[in-house]
A and B are shown apart, each in its own frame.
Chain A
């Protein structure tokens, strides 16, 4: 109840802030953004928790780094990027030069940036595995997995973004642990009709247009992690999907997830074009799914809207 009292005041403040008209909404993609970052695999799980060659081989193996870069107003301008790995998750810029490793750099264009990297093999100083530094910097010393920050520094014109992704390294610390599987949205629907990647559905009028994801429940994994009080805790993923569009807004912008009482949200949202929109246009949509343990992927769709 005490917590409820405290949260009550917070809710009041949030309620008041909801009354403020803020133009820039997260679902409205109008400038340079990083909408998501994933690694394939989403986590590397060693076969055991000792420093064995087999374990090191897994932990130092190559992963595919992907970043969804969007720049609708950029006109195809070049995007300079640098990818760092560093030790401290609180170091959101990977600014600590003594504890960072440059994994890649270059120039790309908007769209998906895809890089092959070996973050587990990175070393700092006198050949010290960065993984060790990550573990040292972690107040839980890796009990929740060794989470190595990967920071993508991307610059498009005068816009600049530091985007952090955690690369998770595990070992089977408790019985039942298994490697995370990348979450994938099984399918999307617009106004209850299937919405495939090649389709260009016609959306007419002021909406709202209902957009949903096909049932993800069968794909939400049940998994085991080390416990802080008990030896292990069993959890079930509650995926969240973030919705974006180059035109108009989504409400809600994020669907799914679970609340404190374990109640899961539905993947149903409504998209509306701007009230003052007069001209028909093609709109790009993105849906980015997160499994809450490092797994992430996205899909893109297009539709033609007319007043």
Chain B
């Protein structure tokens, strides 16, 4: 019983479900906002006090929404490509509310409090966990928790499926003034009124604060107003001084005083300070998983993980299953696969070139991403074209409330991001970036009279997204469909692209070799996304077109390439019953490539090379064109049987390149067993295919027209457990076998006419990898929680090589083995037995944030030198090594600590942040590779990156 200390009976108020919609429409656009109010008895005959549960706020929010409320962020999992972020399609409704007991001691002392709670609502609507975000003491926490534990909600749905969700709930304990005397109400109605109207704006970001309560004073009976989606409110109160109190979840209590005149309207803007720093991950909900492993990186994590230069792709390297790439390379080496075998896509469209300047920053601007999903293996049937993993970059849609943006400047480049609503239901987001090292470099290049040295690296990239069909105020997908007449369409158009140029000119009397190099690579993609929902049917159609240009001028050699591509993906989902969901679709790509090349006849391709000084071949001129089609039809179903979910699927692949026709069928199966609400066992088995890139099919000997699909068999088994709402653990074992992979070069073949050629590529590549991955992730439980981070550990063994005999000639880079005695299958050069990564981020307060990343990996495999005599080849004027057993030793283990410090200043309308990201802060001398003296007598370690500080500045509004 509430108010045990008082003598007056309790007077519970009926919950007012419609008056305090504190729902953030950014996430689902729906929800059943509610508040409850409860009267308390007078404390004593002298002090007539009342206690009230003044405002209980239910917020539904998605991962890492730092600023703009966004509507209709994604599509249901049932049909959508997996890049969509989770959407709460049906929010929980409070069905049973239990009143809290006012702590007697606090009541006696006349204390009030607001208890902010994180409530975990189980799949069936019961409250499975309640945690205060910050203890307020005096018995308030215990009283609020005890009451909330007895609440009961309607089950929430995430992407159309019942799922556990978390909500933030503020339980207010206040004391009421004595009841008004009889007749006072009539007087009040006749009394003059003052109007306070205005807008609630988030300090530092200018986001509109929706669902906040505005009132004068602490009296729960006083009139109050609720801010709308634009943060606007209007409050009518008696004139005089108003002690304004603004209560909004995720923000500090805002208090000010306004003098209100009778019958006048006072217009104000209140800037609310976000509580707990920039990260506002208040509520998390998990998309239902069918994949055994899907790891999600939020934008915040992508931007703030130390040692990654804020590069989203490089953050993936800190996840389990990914081997450390050398130096600062962003290559993704997933579960024993080789570079190029993991596909990276932006909203379902493959990104043709991942990194600027041959391994520089990735073309994915961190400002534009919403989140990254990483599938190290065992991914769904809608994904293909990879025998390693999949990285899906989900882009960010424009803000629905007002104009926001940011400008970022660092050592390499500067860029901006802008997002704004255009009209009702249409928003736009745009980002662009350009390097300026080409303007800085001349200051550092040596200057020599009579000589010319010019190095001009330059890159830019852009992303643009226009969204339409937002739910426009509808509370849920069902409501939105109802408003739209039974079916609803939404979608967006997105364009992205990048350009890289490198020009190097070196000439002069003192220069040994005059060099003139000019390269440029550009790509553009425009894609649409049309989502149609009607009842249990969801269709997502994603067409796209692309244009790639590449040019290469080096001396007399020249190559101009153009690639036109058009593709489409259709994913159709149908929830036939709660036990059965079907997904099917098509994934088609057509490419037309043409190349104009002019170059001196290269050795080993046009004539048999002689070792040593290469002669200059006669000039050859070719125009080559290729048509290529790669299509897939896929079908999968989720079948729920008790605690089991079975997802059988199949993907049929067809590749046509000129006269070559390849077929591959990839059956797959996933099983998930929900042992408890917090624990799941999961497993997968399946085949995966990756079509060779089109350019590999050009005429012999420059290509190999009869290549077939690269294949992989992937299987995994794991368990995941959620210890608390903020602490997840995932342990997964895997075994992968790759076969028919492309290696270079192939065998030397004699034609019928007696001439020879060496196959440029062959499908002889094979590989095998097995291991165990552990991921322990600590999220921030609330805005007040200061810690977040993860521990990632992989124990694995990766083997690689070729199935056929060693080619008679290596024929250049790649596919080479050390000598004739070597087996053609052995340890992968990327094998790392232990891969440990620790990432932590701590909010120090006052705008300071500190992050760290520590990595340890086993050293790279190496073949020991076994020198007893020199072996000299006088034709090529070089020596040959004598090695011990192939990859029988390793370099020393790699260890490195990276630290990032950020300080932000929050001004009224914008935020300024500066950061220092220091790689290898204790300057560890790690061996990336081994090299040797020219006679192969002694080994030397090639050191990795030394201590490397990078300073950056970012302003956002």
Contact of B512 among A22, A25, A161, A269 (CB under 8 A): A269
* CB-CB under 8 A for A34 and B874, given A25-B934, A264-B616: yes
Instruction: Give the distance to chain A from B608, nearest Cβ to Cβ, in Å.
Output: 3
Judge whether B561 and A166 touch: CB under 8 Å.
Answer: no
Judge whether B613 and A263 touch: CB under 8 Å.
Answer: no
Chain B CB within 8 A of A10 CB? yes
Judge whether A140 and B555 touch: CB under 8 Å.
Answer: no
Chain A CB within 8 A of B943 CB? yes
Task: Tell me which of B187-195, B425-433, B513-521, B722-730 binds A.
Answer: B513-521
Q: How far is the CA of A261 from the CA of B617 in the complex (A)?
A: 10
Chain B CB within 8 A of A75 CB? no
Contacts of A293 in B (CB 8 A): 610, 615
Judge whether B613 and A238 touch: CB under 8 Å.
Answer: yes
Judge whether A162 and B359 touch: CB under 8 Å.
Answer: no
Contacts of A242 in B (CB 8 A): 877
Q: How far is the CA of A237 from the CA of B604 in the complex (A)?
A: 16
Judge whether A24 and B552 touch: CB under 8 Å.
Answer: no
Task: Tell me which of A54-62, A78-86, A117-125, A221-229 binds B.
Answer: A221-229
Interface string of A233-257 (1 = CB under 8 A from B): 1111111101000000000101111
Tally inter-chain residue pairs, CB-CB below 8 A. 241
Judge whether B875 and A260 touch: CB under 8 Å.
Answer: no
Judge whether B616 and A139 touch: CB under 8 Å.
Answer: no
Interface residues of A in 105-156 (CB under 8 A from B): 139-141, 143-145, 147
Chain A CB within 8 A of B872 CB? yes
Judge whether B872 and A240 touch: CB under 8 Å.
Answer: no
Judge whether A160 and B868 touch: CB under 8 Å.
Answer: yes
Contacts of B818 in A (CB 8 A): none
Judge whether B874 and A165 touch: CB under 8 Å.
Answer: yes
Among B557, B606, B750, B813: residue with most chain A CB under 10 A: B606
Contact of A164 among B693, B809, B872 (CB under 8 A): B872
Chain A CB within 8 A of B599 CB? yes
Q: What range describes how many residues of B lie at the interface? A: 35 or more
CB nearest to A226 among chain B residues: B607
Chain B CB within 8 A of A157 CB? no
Q: How far is the CA of A205 from the CA of B809 in the complex (A)?
A: 48
Judge whether A261 and B557 touch: CB under 8 Å.
Answer: yes
Interface string of B913-939 (1 = CB under 8 A from A): 000000000000000110101110110
Contacts of B359 in A (CB 8 A): 8-9, 12
Contacts of A145 in B (CB 8 A): 608, 610
Q: How far is the CA of A285 from the CA of B916 in the complex (A)?
A: 52
Among A93, A163, A235: residue with most chain B CB under 10 A: A235
Instruction: Give the distance to chain A from B598, nearest Cβ to Cβ, in Å.
Output: 10
Judge whether B600 and A261 touch: CB under 8 Å.
Answer: yes
23 contacts between A and B (CB under 8 A): A1-B550, A8-B358, A26-B934, A36-B874, A144-B609, A145-B608, A159-B870, A160-B869, A166-B611, A168-B610, A223-B615, A228-B606, A229-B606, A233-B617, A235-B615, A236-B616, A238-B614, A239-B613, A261-B516, A261-B554, A261-B600, A262-B599, A291-B613
Chain B CB within 8 A of A13 CB? yes
Judge whether B556 and A262 touch: CB under 8 Å.
Answer: yes
Contacts of B517 in A (CB 8 A): 261
Instruction: Give the distance to chain B from A296, nearest Cβ to Cβ, in Å.
Output: 7
CB nearest to B558 among chain A residues: A261
Contacts of B13 in A (CB 8 A): none
* CB-CB under 8 A for A228 and B756, given A1-B550, A6-B814, A8-B359: yes
Chain A CB within 8 A of B327 CB? yes
CB nearest to B327 among chain A residues: A12
Chain A CB within 8 A of B602 CB? yes
Chain B CB within 8 A of A301 CB? no
Chain A CB within 8 A of B440 CB? no
Contacts of B516 in A (CB 8 A): 261, 263
* CB-CB under 8 A for A235 and B358, given A262-B600, A265-B513: no
Chain B CB within 8 A of A273 CB? no
Interface residues of B in 850-898 (CB under 8 A from A): 868-875, 877, 880
Q: How far is the CA of A77 from the CA of B359 in the complex (A)?
A: 53
Chain B CB within 8 A of A179 CB? no
Chain B CB within 8 A of A287 CB? no
Judge whether A259 and B872 touch: CB under 8 Å.
Answer: no
Question: With A5-B358, A139-B808, A163-B873 given, can you name 6 additional A-B contacts, CB distance below 8 Å?
Answer: A166-B610, A242-B877, A259-B554, A261-B600, A290-B875, A292-B613
Among B327, B515, B607: residue with most chain A CB under 10 A: B607
Contact of A252 among B512, B514, B614, B872 (CB under 8 A): B512
* CB-CB under 8 A for A24 and B608, given A8-B358, A92-B873, A261-B555: no
Interface of A is mostly: mixed
Instruction: Give the distance to chain B from A217, nearest Cβ to Cβ, in Å.
Output: 12
Contacts of B147 in A (CB 8 A): none
Judge whether B327 and A16 touch: CB under 8 Å.
Answer: yes
Interface string of B736-772 (1 = CB under 8 A from A): 0000000000001010000111000000000000000
Judge whether A16 and B942 touch: CB under 8 Å.
Answer: yes
Contacts of B515 in A (CB 8 A): 259, 263
Contacts of B557 in A (CB 8 A): 260-262
Judge whether A292 and B942 touch: CB under 8 Å.
Answer: no
* CB-CB under 8 A for A290 and B873, given A140-B608, A228-B755: no
Q: How far is the CA of A91 from the CA of B757 in the complex (A)?
A: 23
Interface string of A159-191 (1 = CB under 8 A from B): 111111110100000000000000000000000
Judge whether B933 and A288 touch: CB under 8 Å.
Answer: no
Instruction: Give the distance to chain A from B749, nearest Cβ to Cβ, in Å.
Output: 10
CB nearest to A21 among chain B residues: B940
Q: How far is the CA of A139 from the CA of B693 in the complex (A)?
A: 28
CB nearest to B619 among chain A residues: A262
Chain A CB within 8 A of B820 CB? yes
Judge whether B555 and A227 touch: CB under 8 Å.
Answer: no
Judge whether A20 and B942 touch: CB under 8 Å.
Answer: yes
Instruction: Give the distance to chain B from A191, nearest Cβ to Cβ, in Å.
Output: 13
Contacts of B611 in A (CB 8 A): 166
Judge whether B875 and A294 touch: CB under 8 Å.
Answer: yes
Q: How far is the CA of A235 from the CA of B601 in the complex (A)?
A: 8
* CB-CB under 8 A for A228 and B510, given A17-B942, A260-B602, A291-B613: no
Instruction: Give the distance to chain A from B211, nearest Cβ to Cβ, in Å.
Output: 50
Judge whether A288 and B358 touch: CB under 8 Å.
Answer: no
* CB-CB under 8 A for A227 and B874, given A17-B929, A261-B554: no
Q: How far is the CA of A237 from the CA of B755 in the complex (A)?
A: 24
Instruction: Give the distance to chain A from B404, nearest Cβ to Cβ, in Å.
Output: 36
Q: How far is the CA of A141 from the CA of B808 in the complex (A)?
A: 12
Contact of A20 among B509, B618, B756, B940 (CB under 8 A): B940
Q: How far is the CA of A225 from the CA of B517 in the complex (A)?
A: 29
Contacts of A73 in B (CB 8 A): none
Judge whether B615 and A258 touch: CB under 8 Å.
Answer: yes
Judge whether A290 and B877 touch: CB under 8 Å.
Answer: yes
Judge whether A233 and B552 touch: CB under 8 Å.
Answer: no
Judge whether B813 and A266 touch: CB under 8 Å.
Answer: no
Chain A CB within 8 A of B473 CB? no
CB nearest to A232 among chain B residues: B607
Contacts of B938 in A (CB 8 A): 22, 24
Q: How far is the CA of A225 from the CA of B603 in the complex (A)?
A: 11
Nearest 5 Cβ contacts at the A-B interface: A261-B555, A144-B608, A8-B358, A292-B613, A139-B808
Instruction: Give the distance to chain B from A213, nearest Cβ to Cβ, in Å.
Output: 12
Chain A CB within 8 A of B140 CB? no
Q: How far is the CA of A265 from the CA of B935 in the complex (A)?
A: 25
Q: How far is the CA of A225 from the CA of B618 in the complex (A)?
A: 11
Interface residues of B in 579-622 (CB under 8 A from A): 599-602, 604-619
